[in-house]
Amino acid sequence: MEIQVTEDRAGEVLVLSPVGRLDSANATAFEAVVMNHVRGGERRLVIDFGSLDFISSSGMRVLLIAAKTLRTNKGTLVLCSMKDHIAEVFQISGFSQIIPIKDSRAEALAASA
Amino acid sequence: MSGEFHVSLPAKLSAVRGLAEMVEEFGDANRLSPSKVYMINLALEELITNTVSYGLEGVIDPQIGIGMHVRDGVLAVTVVDNGHPFDATQDTNPDLSSPIDERPIGGLGLHLVKVFADRIAYEYAEGRNCLTLEHDLASGDA
C-alpha cells in the first residue's frame, strides 16, 4: 500500500511530510521513500508529522533505521509537529531520547542547520 | 454502534484500515476519549500485524476475529485467530533506553500493547489463540 509523502527543500535540509496513516500496510513504501533519499546523499532530514494521524511500531522502525544510517553518514534526522497521541507513543517507546523532536518545522530546520 | 462489537477480518495487513474506522465509531458510541481510541487502534494494529506476518503464515483458511465491549467501566478487546500458538503475554523486555547506536530495531509492538492493557490474558484452545486485553476506563471516560 502506498503512502503520500510531501517533499520540501529548505537549503540543505529535505523535509518529508507523510500524510494520514503510517502502519504495517505502508511502512515498506515509506521506508523506500526515506531510504532512497538517504542513500542518494541527503544528510539533513526533517520529517514533519503535521499531516500524520497515526503511526505504529512498523513506521517507527523506519525512523530508527533512518536515524541510525544518517548518524553513520554524519547527518541528522529531526522530527517535528507531532500530534499529542503520537508524541505520547514516542515517549512510551523511549524514542524521544534518541531522535530529536521539535514543536514546529521552523525549530526543526533551525536544529538541522 | 452499541457497547458491543464483533468483526471478522481478512488476513492481510491492510485489514486494519477498515477496522480503525469501526473502532472510532465504537469509541464515539461509548464516549471514549480520542486518546483511548488511538491506543486501542495502536494495540490492534500491533497485534494484527504480528498475527498476519507470523502467526498465520502457511495456515489454510486463516481467520482473525476482533471483539470489543465496555462493561462496568472496563473496556475489553479480544483478538482470536487460528494461527500457530503464540502467547503475546510473555515478557518481551524491549530495550527502551540504549543510545541510538545500540538501540535494537524492533521489539516495540507488543510493548505498546502492554502499556495500554491493565490486564492481559492468553489462552490457546481448540486450535485458536485468544488474547484478551482489559483496560480500566477512568470515571467520566466510560
Q: How far apart are CA B112 and CA B116, in angstroms?
A: 7
Q: Which residue of B has its CA nearest to A67?
A: B100
Give the domain range for residue B63: 4-136
Identify whether B120 is part of a domain: yes
Residue A23: which CATH number? 3.30.750.24
SS3 content of chain B, % helix, strand, coil (to 5): 30, 25, 40
Number of domains in chain B: 1
Among the partner-chain residues A23, A84, A85, the one whose CB lies closest to the CB of B16 is A23
Give the domain range for residue A93: 5-107
Identify whether A95 is part of a domain: yes
Which residue type sits at B48?
Answer: I
Identify whether A112 is part of a domain: no
Q: Do A23 and B106 touch (CB under 8 A)?
A: no
A1 touches chain B (CB under 8 A): yes
Q: Which residue out of B13, B19, B47, B97 would a mutagenesis test of the A interface target, given it has the greatest number of A Cβ atoms within 10 Å? A: B13
Q: Which three cell numbers stand for residue B36?
A: 483511548
Distances (CA, A) of A109 to A29, A48, A70, A112, B101: 25, 10, 16, 5, 23
B100 touches chain A (CB under 8 A): yes
Mean pLDDT of A47-70: 97
Give pLDDT tens digits along chain B (142 positions).
557 889 999 999 999 999 999 999 999 999 999 999 999 999 999 999 999 999 999 999 999 999 999 999 999 999 999 999 999 998 778 999 999 999 998 889 999 999 999 999 999 999 999 999 999 997 555 4
What's this model's pTM, rounded to 2 decimal places?
0.93
DSSP A45-84: EEEE-TTEEEE-HHHHHHHHHHHHHHHHTT-EEEEE---H
Q: Is the pLDDT of residue A91 over 70?
A: yes
Contact status, residue B46 vs residue B88, Cβ threshold 8 Å: no
Q: Is the pLDDT of residue A28 over 50?
A: yes
Q: How far apart are CA B59 and CA A8, in angstroms?
A: 44
Residue B11: which CATH number? 3.30.565.10
Q: What is the predicted ipTM?
A: 0.93
Chain A from 68 to 87: CB within 8 A of any B CB? 68, 71, 84-85
What is chain B's alpha carbon radius of gyration, rounded to the nearest angstrom? 15
B106 touches chain A (CB under 8 A): yes
Number of domains in chain A: 1
